[in-house]
A and B are shown apart, each in its own frame.
Chain A
Amino acid sequence: MSTPFPRPINFRDGRVDMSHGSGGRAMAQLIHELFVTHFDNDYLRAQNDGACFPLPAGSGRMVMATDSHVVSPLFFPGGDIGCLAVHGTVNDVAMAGGRPLYLSAGFILEEGFPLADLKRIVISMAQAAKEAGVPIITGDTKVVEKGKGDGVFINTTGIGIVPPGIDLAPSKIRAGDAILVSGMLGDHGVAIMSLRENLSFDTAIQSDTAALHDLVATMLAAVPEIRTLRDPTRGGLATVLNEFALAARCGMLIREPVIPIRPAVNAACELLGLDPLYVANEGKLVAICPAERATELLALMRAHPLGADAAIIGEVIEDANHFVQMETAFGGRRMVDWLSGEQLPRIC
């Protein structure tokens, strides 16, 4: 059989060059030998510019979410930008109560980026998509000149179905509701920071990057009264709670001793002068549910592998100022304010 690509791409020590984004033979070859090969589904094999797909019969509303991934470093303990790009968008769909169906993937590659690294990322993405049961059915590749990117950026968009009867929104939060988290906080942020130039420290902490849609489906099936869900990514738990408080026009009161945080995450934060409540997660969720369902929901979450360390960490309270407050382990109450600027390591 004749092939337009007699010589296979050198994924051992080849590099991305401008031709990989030019629309010509090199780009077609990259799409075939890398993306179609690994993402591997009928939609991609159809080689259309877009993907047409059927909708499940009798379904409710649709949800669409998009997320651009620009993480540095690209490979980190517990994951890489590839699986992160899948998990991040799957989770955004799931937090709306949706069952994710399909993903798109847009790559922006920097000229000179090693093809071996790109292949590693794509295989990781393909595996994450397969594990999540959410195929990547359409995509795009662009190449920018060296110095105009940071290796690789990946945008993913997800489409999902929200089952009838599910309508999550922070505005539904009421005073008295319970606040739950699905597990240990701050792992992703600390894993990333441990590799940052200048900060470098060694820790067994791995990124928690994971697709949460199965956990969410389990939760919603049993407790459809859940008010809202959100994944505490950038800005961490503190940011999500402040967003909820503002949207619901109420206050939040959490209890420091019951917030699940690994000792090593606390230690890394002590060293860098950071607060773990503001550190990013990629495989955790915050759930608000009516207090009378909280115990049942917690038991369900703990029975799921991605919710083993779940905890009820506090409750929604009435507060005209929409403050998030925390009862500290020390005994006393302090504010957990919006993050100011970026979380940067402090010396003083």
Chain B
Amino acid sequence: MKYIDEFRDGETARSIAALIAAEAQPQKSYRLMEFCGGHTHAISRYGLLDLLPAQVRMIHGPGCPVCVLPIGRIDSAIALASTHKLILCTYADTLRVPASGGLSLLKAKARGADVRMVYSADDALRIAEENPSREVVFFAIGFETTTPMTAAVIQQAARRSLSNFSVFCNHVLTPAAMQHIMESAADPDAVALDGFVGPAHVSTIIGSAPYEAFTQRYKRPVVIAGFEPLDVLQAVLMLVRQINAGRSAVENQFSRAVSAAGNIKAQAIVSDVFELREAFDWRGLGEVPLSALTIRSAYSAFDAEQKFSIAYRQVADPKACECAAILRGHKHPADCKVFGSACTPEQPIGACMVSSEGACAAHYTYGRHKVMAIRATGVAA
């Protein structure tokens, strides 16, 4: 597969790793947050940590839309589907996220709620057209990458004057979350960060420019990277070099798919339909101001939150669960008491275990053999 296989070459990976090892100074620390779950997935799946020297540490960030979706929003989606008896369309990723009362969308479906898995927002619109007598709600989640499709179907619904279609909008914004993480770094038990591996496909949409203010303000380098393993390793090398040189610039490793300005057409569609939400509750991060989108009043007829008077109710995460600390990079999955025992991909307690790119699920699925080996030999992890 062109533009995929070339970026998964193991020999090149070892060459880049050798450069990282040669250039990372032994006395310095390189604590790098990979914001995106896509990077977390690549790091786990390809075993990239084994290729990095000890002083280069990768810290998982909150860039997994399923993981940061708070319980209260899933509860609302379940309430829509079961109380209002409507058709709730959702990406498969959200189906197994644990909600209140031991429920999930999948369990609500088994109890009779009409929850339908869609692969594209277009499918939700089509289902609305095919079922004119039923209300159809699209449960929209995702970062900037997934937002333009939702905007496009809202525009189409408006053009076609569809009265039975609406969107429960949960789209969130990457730069706001990155900023929040740096702000919370003042927290005494927060982990210090020396640089960021910046988002891949999010940046295809928003461009590299939005990170400029971030690097200037927080004096931390950001290197935008693709999701293939060589992309991640090259970005780490670029970060090491910036840190060595005392620089904090935005650099673009993923130049084959990211420009400075991003996808302007997609941005225009998004800003036609959405506006900034005052605040959004992120699982793990709490309320983050101006970190999410809501539907503009011109399209309020398609806003499920207004149409069905959805009131958001904050629900605390399960006590035993360390998702919040893990999502902020303060803790590693293996630090959580319930990781791999009470909390597994089959019976997830926290959101990080639900999505396959959640920090815990990625670690459980691809890296568990190492943790077990370490535990078995009695060496501290």
**Interface residue ranges, A against B (CB under 8 Å):** 198-199, 263, 266-267, 270, 272-273, 320-321, 323, 325, 328-335, 337, 340-341, 344-348
Q: Which residues of the partner chain B approach A330 to less than 8 Å between Cβ atoms?
A: 8-10, 13, 46-47, 229
> B70-78, B92-100, B162-170, B245-253: which lies at the A interface?
B92-100
Q: Are A334 and B45 in contact (CB under 8 A)?
A: yes
- Interface residues as binary, B360-375 with A (CB distance below 8 Å gives 1, 0 otherwise): 0100111111001000
Q: Which residues of the partner chain B approach A323 to less than 8 Å between Cβ atoms?
A: 368-369, 372
Query: Can you identify 28 A-B contacts, CB atoms within 8 angstroms?
Result: A266-B1, A325-B369, A328-B46, A328-B47, A330-B8, A330-B10, A330-B46, A330-B229, A331-B11, A331-B13, A331-B14, A334-B44, A334-B46, A335-B367, A335-B369, A337-B366, A340-B356, A340-B361, A340-B365, A344-B93, A344-B95, A346-B93, A347-B91, A348-B38, A348-B64, A348-B66, A348-B142, A348-B357
Q: SS class of chain B's interface: helix, strand, loop or mixed?
A: helix
The 8 closest A-B CB pairs, nearest first, are A340-B345, A331-B10, A332-B47, A344-B92, A330-B10, A198-B119, A347-B91, A334-B366
**Would you call B4 an interface residue if the criterion is a C-beta within 8 Å of the partner chain's C-beta atoms?**
yes
Instruction: Name the residue among B38, B356, B367 with the largest chain A CB count within 10 angstroms.
Output: B356
**Would you call B187 an interface residue if the criterion is a C-beta within 8 Å of the partner chain's C-beta atoms?**
no
**Would you call B129 an interface residue if the criterion is a C-beta within 8 Å of the partner chain's C-beta atoms?**
no
Q: SS class of chain A's interface: helix, strand, loop or mixed?
A: loop
Q: Are B118 and A267 in contact (CB under 8 A)?
A: no
Find the B residue at minimum CB distance from A197. B123
- Interface residues as binary, B323-361 with A (CB distance below 8 Å gives 1, 0 otherwise): 000000000000000000000111000000001110001
**Would you call B198 an interface residue if the criterion is a C-beta within 8 Å of the partner chain's C-beta atoms?**
no
Nearest chain A CB to B263 CB, angstrom units = 18
**Would you call B290 an interface residue if the criterion is a C-beta within 8 Å of the partner chain's C-beta atoms?**
no
Find B37's partner among A266, A320, A348 (CB 8 Å cutoff): A348
Nearest chain B CB to A216 CB, angstrom units = 32
- Interface residues as binary, B34-67 with A (CB distance below 8 Å gives 1, 0 otherwise): 0001100000111100110000000000001110
Q: Which residues of the partner chain B approach A270 to less than 8 Å between Cβ atoms?
A: 1, 4
Q: Are B117 and A344 in contact (CB under 8 A)?
A: yes
Bound-complex Cα distance A340 to B368 (A) = 15
Q: Are B229 and A347 in contact (CB under 8 A)?
A: no
**Would you call B146 an interface residue if the criterion is a C-beta within 8 Å of the partner chain's C-beta atoms?**
yes
Find B47's partner among A333, A340, A347 (CB 8 Å cutoff): A333
Q: For chain B residues 10-27, which have a beta carbon within 8 Å of chain A?
A: 10-11, 13-14
Find the B residue at minimum CB distance from A273. B356
Q: Which residues of the partner chain A approach B142 to less than 8 Å between Cβ atoms?
A: 347-348
Nearest chain A CB to B91 CB, angstrom units = 5
Find the B residue at minimum CB distance from A326. B366
Find the A residue at minimum CB distance from B106. A341
Q: Are A345 and B119 in contact (CB under 8 A)?
A: yes
Q: For chain B residues 193-243, which have a beta carbon within 8 Å of chain A?
A: 229
Q: Are B118 and A198 in contact (CB under 8 A)?
A: yes
Bound-complex Cα distance A340 to B4 (A) = 26
Find the B residue at minimum CB distance from A196. B119
Q: Which residues of the partner chain B approach A346 to less than 8 Å between Cβ atoms?
A: 91-93, 355-356
Q: Which residues of the partner chain B approach A199 to less than 8 Å between Cβ atoms?
A: 119
Find B346's partner among A272, A328, A340, A348 (CB 8 Å cutoff): A340
Find the B residue at minimum CB distance from A329. B10
Q: Are B13 and A337 in contact (CB under 8 A)?
A: no
Bound-complex Cα distance A27 to B91 (A) = 43
Find the A residue at minimum CB distance from B119. A198
Bound-complex Cα distance A332 to B10 (A) = 9
Q: Which residues of the partner chain A approach B156 to less than 8 Å between Cβ atoms?
A: none
Bound-complex Cα distance A273 to B118 (A) = 14
Given A321-B369, A330-B46, 4 more pairs with CB closer than 8 A: A263-B1, A272-B119, A273-B356, A340-B361
Bound-complex Cα distance A329 to B10 (A) = 7
Bound-complex Cα distance A68 to B123 (A) = 31
Q: Which residues of the partner chain A approach B119 to less than 8 Å between Cβ atoms?
A: 198-199, 272, 345, 347
Known: A320-B376, A340-B346. A348 touches B93 (CB 8 A): yes
Q: Are B92 and A345 in contact (CB under 8 A)?
A: yes
